[in-house]
Amino acid sequence: MIEKTARELLMERLRVGDARAWPTSPDTDIDAVIREALAGQPALRNCLYPTCMRQMDAMSTMNGKKPPRPEWSGAGWATLGSGALVGADRHICPDHKGTITAHYPRRLQLPNERWGIDCGCGWSPSPQRYAPILRAQWEQHLLEQDGSLPPAPPVPDPDVPGTRIPLAEHTADTLAELYDRLWDAESEWADLRDFARTCLNAYNTAVPALLGAKTALETLRSRIIVDSRDWTADKLDALLYAVLVGWNCENTDPAHTHNDIDCAGDQGLWRIAKQHGIPTDQTIQAGHHRWWIANAITVATKIEEQTR
């Protein structure tokens, strides 16, 4: 039997002769009409760009069906990720995809209970006490970048020539802005002082431990290198050598070319792994461990050179 739409079923019910021959009841057909009407309702989504009037039907886009109107097609539309500050309205039409992507907004929680924006282009407005204001500021920034709005006058900044306002021309708004920046600076100064103290304490704790580990690892590595045993004969010995000494050449000079004649090459670890049947994941893990040990020794050496 050919599947008919709810409308066709209802129309056949209106024709008495066909209705008598149809196997379903009027109640069933009316329920089908209601279900189709509800399921066919468009779920329109607006473009995130402030002045854009384009819409797309999310329901037909997800179902892969043709939208009720051609202008509601979801072809070429995009959606911002969950890290943006725009809330639930994240849809972008093809006309403004490039603009919004270039100005992807992230909300920042700042000290002193304030909020800011990290725009993809590097723009950042003055901090705000009420976070929802940020979206309006970002939308205004988009329109300014697009040329739809003239650029805003520069914020008075003593460090930027040409933006300082004479004292007689200050208003309540400009003074409030300066006071807000002063409060932010005072709060940031205290936070930075605490952060610097924390970093210093961490440095004083971590550096001696790192230098001690460097000395121990270098001593152990030297003992292994001069040992007369065959480190390739035993699987465990081979893994220890891979982590503490390394089977591959570790020359990082860009002009150096790995080969099996002038250096250990870059396949030594894999040859040892094949010889002992070491699984791939353990081989990769041994290579990672070797890199971390070598990197820790390099960093510790640089710290020693800087503190001399």
Per-residue pLDDT tens over the stretch 142-186 = 898 888 888 766 666 666 666 677 777 778 877 777 777 777 777
Q: Give per-residue pLDDT as tens, 225-265.
A: 898 889 999 999 999 999 999 988 888 778 878 776 778 77
- Report the number of secondary-structure helices (H) and strands (E) in the chain: 10, 6
Q: How many residues does the chain have?
A: 308
pLDDT for res 116: 86
Supply 70's token pair. 């051609």
Supply 4's token pair. 């008919």
pLDDT for res 133: 86
220 pLDDT above the threshold of 80 = yes
Q: How confident is the model at residue 41 (pLDDT cuts 50, 70, 90)?
A: confident
Q: How confident is the model at residue 11 (pLDDT cuts 50, 70, 90)?
A: low
pLDDT for res 166: 75
77 pLDDT above the threshold of 80 = yes
Q: How confident is the model at residue 288 (pLDDT cuts 50, 70, 90)?
A: very high
Q: Spell out the domain ranges in the chain.
A: 6-39, 48-53+70-146, 204-307
pTM of the model: 0.44
First to last CA, the chain: 90
- Shortest CA distance to 54 belongs to which of 72, 33, 35? 72
CA distances from 118 to 38, 53, 262 (A): 41, 26, 50
pLDDT for res 43: 82
pLDDT for res 185: 74
Q: How confident is the model at residue 86 (pLDDT cuts 50, 70, 90)?
A: low
pLDDT for res 265: 79
Residues 203, 194: contact at Cβ < 8 Å? no
Question: How large a percentage of the chain has pLDDT more than 90?
Answer: 14
84 contact partners, CB below 8 Å, separation of at least 6: 90, 104, 105, 106
1 pLDDT above the threshold of 60 = no
28 pLDDT above the threshold of 70 = yes
304 pLDDT above the threshold of 60 = yes
pLDDT for res 223: 92
